């Protein structure tokens, strides 16, 4: 039983239903990119790689399922909880950790739990790596500066 792949199957079903090809491409790039960045950060910080990867896959699922980003972190935490419960493979503690990280991921200026911080930093990494020529968002600059130090990047 591979819980990451089971979550990805659910996410893929949702993303495949996005009618607009450009939005569908962006959804795949962003969800898989954040998921991979979560795995990298969890490895580096010696945290739970599986839960981090899953949080990354689900963090913006509400936005892409509904094509609505308003309050997507909070609504997405509820949707992620429904998905995780329906898979019947996660403990209540694991579900709470993942959903809390999703709930808090848009709040880039405050510090929350370990998994929350991995997800926030992974989201910033994917935003920057999507196109390194784009300007870093003002609310993400401090996190990006910290990530550059953590990874010893000279940009």
User: Is the pLDDT at 40 greater than 80, yes or no?
Assistant: yes
Distance, in Å, from the CA atom of 144 to the CA atom of 74, rounded to the nearest integer, reads: 23
pLDDT of residue 154: 85
**Residue 84: predicted pLDDT:** 98
* Whole-number pLDDT of residue 147: 97
> What is the sign, positive or negative, of the torsion defined by CA atoms of 48, 51, 57, 60?
negative
Per-residue confidence (pLDDT) for residue 1, from 0 to 100: 64
pLDDT digits (tens, 9 = 90+) for 53-75: 999 999 999 999 999 999 999 99
Q: What is the pTM of this model?
A: 0.96
**Could you say which of 1.10.3210.10, 1.10.490.10, 2.60.40.10, 1.10.530.10 is the CATH number of the domain covering 3-150?**
1.10.3210.10
For the residues 38-57, what does the mean pLDDT come to? 98
User: How does residue 131 score in pLDDT terms, banded at 50, 70 and 90?
Assistant: very high
Answer yes or no: are the C-beta atoms of 146 and 125 closer than 8 Å.
no
Name the average pLDDT for the chain.
97
Element counts in the chain: helices (H) and strands (E): 8, 0
Residue 155 has pLDDT above 80, yes or no: no
Rounded Cα gap, residues 94 and 125, in angstroms? 24
Contacts of 88 by beta carbon, 8 Å cutoff, 6+ apart: none
From CA 69, how far away is CA 63, in angstroms rounded? 5
| Residue from 108, 130, 122, 109 nearest 52 by CA | 122
Give the mean pLDDT of 42-49.
98
DSSP string over 89-102 = -S-HHHHHHHHHHH
Domain layout of the chain by residue ranges? 3-150
114 burial type by CB count under 10 A (0-12 exposed, 13-18 middle, 19+ buried): middle
What is the DSSP code string of 62-82? HHHHHT--TTHHHHHHHHHHH
């Amino acid at each position: 039983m591979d819980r990451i792949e089971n979550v990805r199957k659910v996410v893929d079903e949702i993303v495949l239903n996005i009618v607009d090809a450009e939005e569908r491409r962006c959804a795949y790039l962003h969800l898989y990119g954040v998921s991979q960045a979560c795995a990298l950060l969890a490895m580096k910080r010696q945290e739970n790689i599986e839960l981090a990867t899953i949080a990354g896959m689900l963090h913006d699922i509400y936005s892409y399922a509904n094509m609505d980003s308003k309050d997507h972190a909070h609504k997405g935490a509820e949707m992620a909880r429904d998905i995780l419960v329906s898979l019947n493979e996660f403990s209540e503690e694991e579900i709470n950790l993942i959903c809390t990280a999703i709930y808090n991921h848009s709040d880039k200026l405050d510090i929350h739990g370990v998994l929350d911080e991995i997800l926030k930093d992974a989201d910033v990494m994917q935003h920057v790596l999507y196109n390194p020529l784009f300007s870093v968002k003002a609310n993400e600059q401090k996190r990006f500066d910290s990530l550059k130090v953590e990874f010893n990047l000279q940009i």
